[in-house]
């Protein structure tokens, strides 16, 4: 089983401070994350009168910020990832040289944007929170042979453990063998279980401190929690091994000692 890839989701936790975003990249990389994820939009493309316009405008990443964050990821040997919220941002993001793009739960049914993204990126990662079964099926049909991952997701912030229902990952595997978990629980228990269940990716909101201002800080993992999940993912990879490895030399040696020790019981 391939090791679960850990995505540290900075999102808008940088609060429009690119220097802070770079520090988050450094901390996530040091903790063992494989990817650091941001969010890309242009607030001018929100629906007129959107009550969250000011918040989105403040957290909007400029073109130059994208380039700087990509350079920071490269310098720290971690992969850059972003969520495309805005169809008008597709061409810019495609021009950054990214192979993989993230699609948020509210856009699972945004087929016009998904069509554009699948033409411009090699792999799509799509969250499934708030989606009906039929919507997931329709998007899977649209994607066809496209390389993609469905992330099982409950869009509750935080998600109570009794509502996690990770068995849902198995249902998603009928569409694609690559299924992960976008984790909005507190702590690491649900994330660890998803790793043990073979998640391709584990995405978790990330912050340097839950005391920082911002609406997602309180439900975000701090560096020690990302480190714990990354270490666990490596342990699971070691423990899972291969389906038919054969006996080790030591076990073969022990066969000669223990089998038949009490006479012919066979």
The fourth-level CATH superfamily of domain 5-258 is: Aldolase class I (3.20.20.70)
Q: With 90 as the cut, is the pLDDT of residue 79 above it?
A: yes
pLDDT on residue 46: 78
Please answer whether residues 90 and 121 qualify as being in contact, where contact means their C-beta atoms are separated by less than 8 angstroms: no
Q: Which of 65, 63, 76 is nearest to 36 (CA)?
A: 76
Q: What is the pTM of this model?
A: 0.94
Q: What are phi and psi of 217, to 5 degrees?
A: -60, -40
208-251 pLDDT tens trace: 999 898 888 999 999 999 999 999 999 999 999 888 889 999 99
pLDDT on residue 219: 94
Mean pLDDT, residues 123-128 taken together: 99
């Amino acid at each position: 089983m391939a090791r679960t890839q850990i995505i540290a989701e900075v999102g808008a936790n940088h609060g429009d401070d690119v220097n802070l975003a770079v520090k988050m990249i450094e901390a996530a990389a040091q903790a063992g994350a494989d990817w650091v994820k941001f969010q890309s939009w242009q607030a001018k493309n929100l629906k007129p009168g959107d009550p969250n316009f000011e918040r989105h405008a403040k957290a909007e990443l400029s073109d130059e910020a994208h380039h700087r964050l990509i350079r920071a990821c490269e310098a720290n040997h971690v992969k850059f990832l972003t969520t495309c919220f805005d169809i008008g941002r597709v061409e810019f993001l495609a021009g950054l040289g990214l192979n993989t793009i993230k699609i948020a739960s509210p856009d699972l049914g945004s087929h016009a944007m998904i069509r554009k993204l699948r033409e411009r990126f090699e792999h799509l990662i799509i969250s499934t929170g708030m989606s009906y079964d039929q919507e997931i099926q329709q998007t899977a049909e649209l994607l066809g042979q496209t390389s993609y991952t469905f992330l099982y997701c409950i869009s509750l912030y935080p998600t109570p453990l009794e509502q996690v229902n990770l068995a849902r990952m198995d249902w998603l595997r009928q569409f694609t063998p690559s299924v992960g978990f976008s984790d909005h629980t507190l702590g690491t228990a649900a994330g660890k279980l998803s790793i043990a269940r073979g998640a391709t990716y584990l995405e978790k909101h990330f912050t340097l401190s839950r005391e920082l201002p911002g609406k997602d800080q309180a439900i975000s993992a701090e560096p020690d929690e990302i480190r714990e999940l990354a270490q666990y993912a490596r342990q699971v990879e070691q423990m899972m091994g291969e389906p038919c490895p054969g006996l080790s030399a030591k076990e073969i040696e022990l066969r000669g000692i223990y089998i038949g020790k009490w006479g012919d019981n066979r």
